[in-house]
Amino acid sequence: MSIIDRSTFFDIFGSGTFDGEPPIFMGADVEPILAFSRTFRLKTVIEIGIQRGETAKIILENSPWIEKYIGIDLTPDSQTTLSLQQGEVPQMAGELVKDDPRVELILKPNGTRDLTADDLPTADLILIDGDHSKEGVFLDTFLARQSIRQGGIICWHDYGNSLVPDVTAVIDELNLTEDNLICLIQNGFLCFQICRDGR
């Protein structure tokens, strides 16, 4: 696993600071995403696992240049693959950003398992933070790689989180077979890859 020091990351990609409290699930890991947004002036962002929209709200409030923000999640009556995540199924997915005209919510009983790349626009950044089962992380990675533009960024959340070890296992497996293309930002749970290929 390639690891970049947190301060070095911000030296390279710029500031990720913002006013207010960090989102509950994402915490300070939202700051590198804001840095990417500010540096690359992202136009289209996809968040897999938008939940109530706390992370999306911070990103959108600090990124007026974003034109489209796709939030994907489960319908309220869905069953999660991991029982640990059942309590995370939102009753009103994206409720904190639903009135932002840039936001489009895609809610499916099986989440991204009910989608193909044809259902999504080409994105500048995709945040994977949905189904944390091994199969779910692999499927979301495959979908993201089909939907990202060349030079776009894919981020995975919860690498190193012992509560959901499958995320770490999948990323380690991908790095083993793909020459360590995914990099962890030190002192956090966020990994990223700047994609050489894309659509």
In a domain, 122, yes or no: no
CATH number at residue 9: 3.40.50.150
The pLDDT value recorded for residue 62 is: 97
Residues sharing a CB contact under 8 Å with residue 181, sequence separation 6 or more, in sequence order: 174, 175, 193
Q: How many structural domains comprise the chain?
A: 1
Q: Is the pLDDT of residue 197 over 90?
A: no
Strands (E) across 59-186 are located at 68-74, 103-108, 123-128, 148-157, 183-185
In a domain, 79, yes or no: yes
Distance CA 149, CA 86 (A): 32
SS3 state at 81: coil
In a domain, 89, yes or no: yes
Among residues of the chain, what percentage have pLDDT more than 90? 95
In a domain, 168, yes or no: yes
Q: Could you tell me the CA-to-CA distances from 15 to 8, 32, 53, 150 in Å, in that order? A: 11, 8, 22, 24
Residue 156: domain span: 2-115+133-194
Give the pLDDT confidence of 71-104 residue by residue, as tens digits.
Answer: 999 999 999 999 999 999 999 999 999 999 999 9
What is the value of pTM for the model shown?
0.97
Encoding tokens for residue 84?
């640990």
In a domain, 127, yes or no: no
